[in-house]
Amino acid sequence: MGARAAPSRRRQAGRRLRYLPTGSFPFLLLLLLLCIQLGGGQKKKENLLAEKVEQLMEWSSRRSIFRMNGDKFRKFIKAPPRNYSMIVMFTALQPQRQCSVCRQANEEYQILANSWRYSSAFCNKLFFSMVDYDEGTDVFQQLNMNSAPTFMHFPPKGRPKRADTFDLQRIGFAAEQLAKWIADRTDVHIRVFRPPNYSGTIALALLVSLVGGLLYLRRNNLEFIYNKTGWAMVSLCIVFAMTSGQMWNHIRGPPYAHKNPHNGQVSYIHGSSQAQFVAESHIILVLNAAITMGMVLLNEAATSKGDVGKRRIICLVGLGLVVFFFSFLLSIFRSKYHGYPYSDLDFE
């Protein structure tokens, strides 16, 4: 029974092949060619990806941050295939740009990239690059970017999302903050290693030595330590410096002023509430000092027991200082916080 069944099955298979439609053979051949082409295309993509990663690794071996122009940006970041994350700093480091913030952000970016390059976890899944405005103007235009510095993360797949742009205005550009942001976007944790900096320690030691030497020389006459007027002047200087934004200038490093390249007009007051110029902080310091002087004169006119006419003049001068300079201060505040409804005198 088993020997008879085998030829029967062969005859049935032969009948099925004999009745197979002749039009299916070109279809099968086309399907086979398509599979071969897809396999070749996949192999080509793999080879292209391997070449890109090899080139990036070679650049990273030379320096932790490699510079890109428009062609390199489109080839290694915008064009697929890509299986790596790319952190890009868009900046303007040329001296004619006068972007001190860009230089400070670049220093922090270098510290972060060096920490990653010399880390034991370094791999080909994350790279650091930079696009300078004067070397990649077309990239800035393509991304509709009109400010620098800006940090962006380009993921291995898909387009960057809103969270892939680092919130520099709110967080700052410290290397530790950048590392935390990168960890959130890529799951790559970078431990920041800062080179030792002894300038602060040396400056503090010199200050302590200077104060100690002054006290030693005046050891027989230390009455100036108990001088209320002197301490009041020192306190006022510190208050004026802090309220005018000197600490913000120290952290962010803004330019002194801004000169419009088109008409040459110089701006000393920044038009946004999120930034300021160094000249602006100096103007605010002078205004605060003038208002304080006016308040001191008003207090002197009210508490002194001198001539009435003299006290009246002092009172009028103090009142004029307070009204004029406080109105000027309010006008600056309104120019930065648009829609602010209050003012004393209109200087606009």
Dump pLDDT digits (tens) for 284-330.
999 999 999 999 889 888 888 878 888 889 999 999 999 999 988 88
- In Å, how far from its chain's centre is CA 239? 28
Higher pLDDT, 341 or 106: 106
For residues 39 and 31, which has the higher predicted lDDT (pLDDT)? Answer: 31
Q: Phi first, then psi: what are they for 266, rounded to 5°?
A: -100, 130
Query: In angstroms, rounded to a whole number, what is the distance separating the alpha carbons of residues 337 and 303?
Result: 38
pLDDT grade, residue 39 (50/70/90)?
low
User: What is the rounded average pLDDT of the residues 104-119?
Assistant: 91
Two tokens, residue 51: 């070449």
Cα–Cα–Cα angle for 267, 270, 276, rounded to 5 degrees: 120
The model carries a pTM of: 0.55
What is the per-residue pLDDT for 3? 45
| 3-state SS, residue 290 | helix
For residue 7, the surrounding DSSP H or E stretch is: helix 2-18
pLDDT band (50, 70, 90) for residue 106? very high
**pLDDT grade for 25, boundaries at 50, 70 and 90:** low
- Per-residue model confidence (pLDDT) at position 27: 61
Q: Could you say which DSSP state residue 149 is in?
A: S
pLDDT at residue 17 tops 50: no
Give the ranges where 220-262 is alpha helix by DSSP (H). Answer: 228-243, 246-252
Percent of the chain with pLDDT over 90: 26
User: How big is the chain by its Cα radius of gyration, in Å?
Assistant: 35
For 130, phi then psi, to 5°, come to -145, 140
